[in-house]
Structure 1
């Protein structure tokens, strides 16, 4: 993404944010989605075996003047000390938009309460039950990289955490989790094809428009950003909805996605330390069966392999390091403030999706 409606979200692996492709935005429905490539398995120097890529989710509730995470371009001879993008001021009828060119719209509070914030719920692969729920602190980056679980009494009891992993599975098994038939599938495919053709034509006309279009954009704040791989221009922008998804073209709830649903809340309850009731057992979602992956000697993934989310082995967690707080919801349970969806795919398939959408 990483920015939408004043919130920055990104998926990280190997100590860096993962590049994003094919962003789609539905402003009226407060949804945004993009595709990310799954990192290759990493070689463990101790065991000489390839291990699944771990990933973490970074979420930041942007406040006025806050630097946007990971928007600082790489240094160049012409610009040895590049600066990041910043969240602009709160919108005001008396503010001249040209004074805040190239800024990102911050989160706009709904109430006057200083305790208003966002509760983020994270879902994997279309599951109805969230893996994690976390409360954001305005202006601070929140990291989520594990699920909290309860260890059975027979194994000593207590609280533990299981880190997030991308696990390789055979493509035929991965396909079983998708609704390939769908409803009116042919019609939806044709609508998407026409939509991408319109986008391509508009991009060509925009390129020919030249300086007039660039001048117009300098007087607009940015609503959405997304990561790119280009070192000189690591971020792309989107400020219009002409190509956004239609109401009947919702992202599928199926294998191969990470969804983060945001709800506005008033965090006015007492902060309690060391009190938490895990929703999951330590061995939930354990799967030691043959995943059907074919891996070369260099760890490269073959074409008939896809991915799903998985979890590392439980690690003991000190309950004193966690805290919980009671909140009062502003948004209804069926009407989140914003929904971020990351569709993860193998590297080759993600690049194919990118090529198909240009």
Structure 2
């Protein structure tokens, strides 16, 4: 049996849209079967790990690809010339080696992004004025974040939504004007952008002794990405500072966790639950586990390990991705603990070494 692209895309799309989702394992096995058939580098890696679709009894037996592998080869299930978009990492660590995730089309990516964004960041309202602290998608066509933020603006933003950042820089003066207008008109505003933009704005406002009193319903969402671009701020401290700067509740300061190599995002539950918990929750089409990177065995709840995502929306590349992030599981959600160090990094390196050996081999 073989699965065609349109068939597997339709099944994944249907799974994302359905309200009851008890058959994740069945859907994950189907996606794995498709990827094993169509993604040659991934098939070689699975064979080296002695894993075949017929041997899978549990989702966690599907071999996760180390995130560094996306820098070595294009892990897609079709020829590159058929891809509508290739998203690429920023290359902060190594500009010559950027991670790539190819998409034959963006229908499932966009569906996944908008559904879960609405549930977590706009559960109480359908549209509001959005201010984007990041360049537009046309300026950064290979940035998944630029596409994501533009998608949210186009889907949920009112007509007066706008960008205050471009490749030329961050227009802090315009942002201050918008915030003053929101105060005067008593109209809530939603600020979205990369973490480093918010940190820069916090520094400016502190220097100028500026604060704002945004209307009720206003909110903020940062998306990570501070490393290597500005001073780093603890996520909880960042929430406190943003809350104080804009005079909004801390629960209205949300955070999105995503990466180029995935097609889905995880969110704080603070705004949806209007509470203090900073647990990151995946959507029902993503299973997130915490593993020991050397043994690849799942860790018990409450123990620290490497985060592995099984993202069905990533159906056209590799659904199972081993990150280099540490986390602790709590129920179906997790706490992020930052980048791996020491033994965890060595474990990730072993997985990457195994992938390179498989990719350089001769297995078809």
- TM-score strictly above 0.5: no
| Bigger-Rg structure (1/2) | 1
Which structure ranks higher in relative contact order (CA pairs < 8 Å, sequence separation ≥ 6)? 1
Which structure carries more strand by proportion?
A: 1
Relative to the length of structure 1, the TM-score reads 0.23
TM-score by length of 2: 0.22
